[in-house]
Amino acid sequence: MRKLFTSIIFVGISILVLVSFPLLFINAEGGTIEIPNPLTATSFDALISGFINFIFWVAIAVAPLMTLIAGFYFLTAGGDPKKVDTAKKIILYTIIGFAIILMARGLIGIINQILGVQQPGT
């Protein structure tokens, strides 16, 4: 009985949200519906550039964290060859992944400079 009551409440709230959601975007002057652009990019180039920058900064943040995790594996290995091997693999793959991200960003910059492409926001 409790599951049925919970399901009915969930469905009721879902229907209420779906029905009232368009009301958030109605223009008061003309009664037309306007949905604002959630992206800050105004062109496809700016969108791709923003996505690449996001991936780059995530990699910048993740690489030191993975190195710390590998160090933790080394410290807690206690002579266990499996844990030491896991720590070595984490460090190796972190370095490889970070190098790929750096080279990809550098390669994009070189190609843009050769082709004379203007970066968005410059």
The whole-model pTM stands at: 0.60
Question: For residue 22, which of 30, 37, 32 has the smallest C-alpha distance?
Answer: 32
The torsion angles phi and psi of 36, rounded to 5 degrees, stand at -70, 150
For the segment 93-102, the average pLDDT, to the nearest whole number, is 94
93 contact partners, CB below 8 Å, separation of at least 6: 66
Higher local confidence (pLDDT), 87 or 5: 87
Higher local confidence (pLDDT), 95 or 15: 95
Task: Look at residue 122 and tell me whether its pLDDT is greater than 60.
Answer: no
**Per mean pLDDT, which of 16-25, 60-69, 105-114 is the most reliable?**
60-69
Residue 43 DSSP one-character state: S
Domain ranges of the chain: 1-36, 42-122
d(CA 101, CA 20): 44
Beta bridge partners of 26: 33
Task: Look at residue 43 and tell me whether its pLDDT is greater than 90.
Answer: no
Query: 102 is written with which tokens?
Result: 């750096």
Task: Look at residue 20 and tell me whether its pLDDT is greater than 90.
Answer: no
